[in-house]
Chain A
């Protein structure tokens, strides 16, 4: 009987996104993309920051202190977007069990926590001259602080297990549970009467911001997003290679142990 007629294995050259889950293909594709990602990220960030810090006009109310917006706002966007990416990777890893999704989720964590930390510190530095205090317990600040703790909990949990698969699974569930915080951050300035100003730039309305200040902000936001992606891709590549090296070392150790046993026998 012809078994091939009954079972046809799925085509490996399928046109779906799963083919990018192959670590070997990921290494090849990302190796080509990474230098471009880095170059675009660094140059856009430099343009945005240089424009914002030296050429953009100062605010009529806040003066030169407003220039920290070119770091603070992109970092805040990336903190939330990074967590969203973490949650998407977690969902993929829970549903399809792609090892690459586990690795990416583990590598997004520290980078996202870094972005959240930059957002919190620059916000604090901005708050001192504007509100007269380094920190106020308003809803936006508190919810971003909780986001920071969620990142830290995820980082700690994923690394607390002896088996990496178990850590990835627990971290994925925690990341999905923590997603409830994202809408709270987004709408905190609308639901509560906060000291933190409401969003300046929205998808649906025209920005309530002078165009000469908007352009450098968009440049630095795009640049920092590319930079974020570049760091995550580079870290994931390192993670894939680390796992391969560990596999090779294990295989060699097993081989040597086997050879020693042969000698003894």
Chain B
């Protein structure tokens, strides 16, 4: 466990040192979300209706941005081999990477989602449900993204391949997350959709690090 925490601390320190890379994902999120009012017009009723979907799609794309460097830097300079030899199971290494990705990318996206949703004229009473859905959704994106990043390690054009692998897997997250926010905006209960998101998280939490760990071991062979 202490090795796990050390690895996590290393991840956080590294992303703190490369602050610009870390901020790039959040900036991308803000800029793409700001493009939508320009593209579909500023009418509040249209914009407010589309707001949850815009927030989710932009967050999904923004979470993809730092993924190709998630293992890439460690793979290039050989420190990934050392991490795998550290005595920590490969799944735990992948889990620490996923946790690091969430703290550095998922959490800032979650924080930036509230002002963006209000700027997109979403009804304020929908906001808590949107954020409650985004919490498991960003965690799931980090987990699926870690699997994808571990799979394309060492591939040609890995950065192009990564979205093709990760985006189909994340469609359920998008569907249930937006369904929860939509239900809240129509005055219905969002509980079933949020529970389904939580159930997906409960399944992905142990399985995704296992799959990513298997892929990491494959790439280190």
Contacts and interface: CB of A to CB of B under 8 A. Distances in A.
B198 interface: no
A250 interface: no
Q: Mostly helix, strand, loop or mixed at chain A's interface?
A: helix
Contact of B156 (A142, A162, A170, A184): A162
Interface residues of A, number: 23
A176 to B, nearest CB: 7
A130 to B, nearest CB: 24
A244 interface: no
Contacts of B215: 169-170, 173
- Top 5 closest pairs, chain A to chain B, by CB: A160-B155, A149-B168, A169-B218, A153-B165, A170-B151
**In the complex, which range does the number of interface residues on chain B fall in?**
20 to 34
Contacts of B158: 160
A177 B218 contact: no
A177 B155 contact: no
Q: Mostly helix, strand, loop or mixed at chain B's interface?
A: helix
B135 interface: no
A146, A152, A156, A173 — most chain B CB neighbours (10 Å): A173
B164 interface: yes
Given A173-B147, A177-B169, 16 more contacts: A146-B171, A149-B164, A153-B164, A156-B164, A157-B152, A160-B155, A161-B156, A166-B154, A167-B155, A170-B215, A173-B151, A173-B214, A174-B151, A174-B165, A177-B147, A178-B169
Interface string A147-190: 00110110011001110001101100110111001001000000
Given A173-B218, A184-B172, A161 B165 contact: no
Interface in A36-58: none
B149 to A, nearest CB: 11
Contacts of A142: 171, 175
22 contacts: A142-B171, A146-B168, A149-B164, A150-B168, A153-B164, A156-B161, A157-B152, A157-B155, A157-B161, A160-B155, A160-B157, A160-B158, A160-B161, A161-B154, A161-B155, A170-B151, A170-B152, A170-B155, A173-B218, A177-B169, A177-B211, A178-B168
Interface of B: 147, 151-152, 154-158, 161, 164-165, 167-169, 171-172, 175, 207, 211, 214-215, 218-219, 221
A34 interface: no
Contacts of B207: 177
A157 B171 contact: no
Nearest to A149: B168
Contacts of B151: 157, 170, 173-174
A170 B221 CA distance: 12
A94 interface: yes
Contacts of B147: 173, 177
B90 to A, nearest CB: 12
Nearest to A162: B156
B56 to A, nearest CB: 15
B211 A173 contact: yes
B175 to A, nearest CB: 8
Contacts of B214: 94, 173
A166 B218 contact: yes
B210 to A, nearest CB: 10
Contacts of A181: 168
